[in-house]
Amino acid sequence: MAIKKLGITEFLLQSGGFPIFDVRSPGEFNHAHMPGVNSLPLFNDEERKIVGTAYKQQGKQKAIKLGLDFFGVKMRAMVEAVEATLKTFEGPKEKIFVHCWRGGMRSAGVAWMLDLYGYDVYTLVGGYKAYRNHVLATFEKHYDIRILGGYTGSGKTLLLEQLKKQGESMIDLEALAKHKGSAFGALGQPAQPTPEMFENMLAVELEKNTQNTFWLEDESQRIGILNIPHAFWKNMRTKPVFFVDIPFEERLDYICQEYGRHPKDSMISSILRIQKRLGPLETKTAIGLLVEDNVKECFRILLAYYDKTYQKSLENRENISSLLNKISCSGVDTVSNTEKLLACVSSFA
């Protein structure tokens, strides 16, 4: 069987549901990769460095010979790794898709080996670099978005989940970012992905919703250490905001339940991250209350700060008067508030 070379659009279209193997080094893969692909490194990180240095200093042929030294002893193990992956792969296995960094010698070598073994192999012209260009282009498009707004403690993540249960499309940016969006957003969360990996995952979600109207939570551009791609974030800021307006005390109770269980030292570290904006007196008072186990009054100070921050963000948005739709809610009641949201959307349409 001949190896088929595909451009990025056809590669993504035809590879859907089939196994994809990324033959870049572990370091490259761990930094970022196409979501859902399998790592099948031709070289480890040190071998890649050796081959790359030889290519620059001694030319292509010397680099190829060195690469063959590394590749030759791995061939059987790589074929068996593919076989093992296919045994556990849930989906069609008639085709195998392979890519490297630029669609060059690494993917060509592995594709040759797998083709020789009898697999129907497809490679990506331009490699992962072509995929990254595709990802960045995704953020330049315009989407039909509804923004879910509300002050901190409004239970917006729960609302997104309930909207999804009721058949609405949504993308949970904070779930992708592994962060809840404030100075306290890392509490109880795993490590955040790299910026590049976050973009890759977001692009996949956007492509799923190209034809849909979908919901996003109103976010600042920065989520922890990550930034929402600027072009996409600017697009978000032009969309209608459906703002669940819940009384302060109700939100305070909800926040105490959500964050009050975290260790004090972690909470104090989070407070110190915003001390310049919170102010020295409020910072000292909030930490003192926390040390005294007066969590509610500590959080009262913090919630008031975040309310002011969010209000300022709203006011800085262009045409906010025509975009903002406030929905009065008596408490953090996910089912009831979702019904009110959808009723507001119906009247808005």
Sheet of 213-217, strands arranged across: 169-170, 213-217, 144-149, 241-245, 324-328
Cα 247 from chain centre: 31
Q: What sign does the CA torsion over 242, 248, 254, 255 have?
A: positive
Which run of H or of E encompasses 278? helix 275-278
User: Can you read off the two tokens belonging to residue 182?
Assistant: 């404030």
**Residue 348 tokens, joined:** 């808005």
Distance separating alpha carbons of residues 288 and 284, to the nearest angstrom: 6
Measured from the Cβ of residue 288, the count of other Cβ atoms closer than 10 Å reads: 12
100 is catalytic: yes
**Distance between the two ends of the chain, CA-based, in angstroms?**
54
Q: Which of 100, 298, 329, 344 is catalytic?
A: 100
Catalytic residues: 100
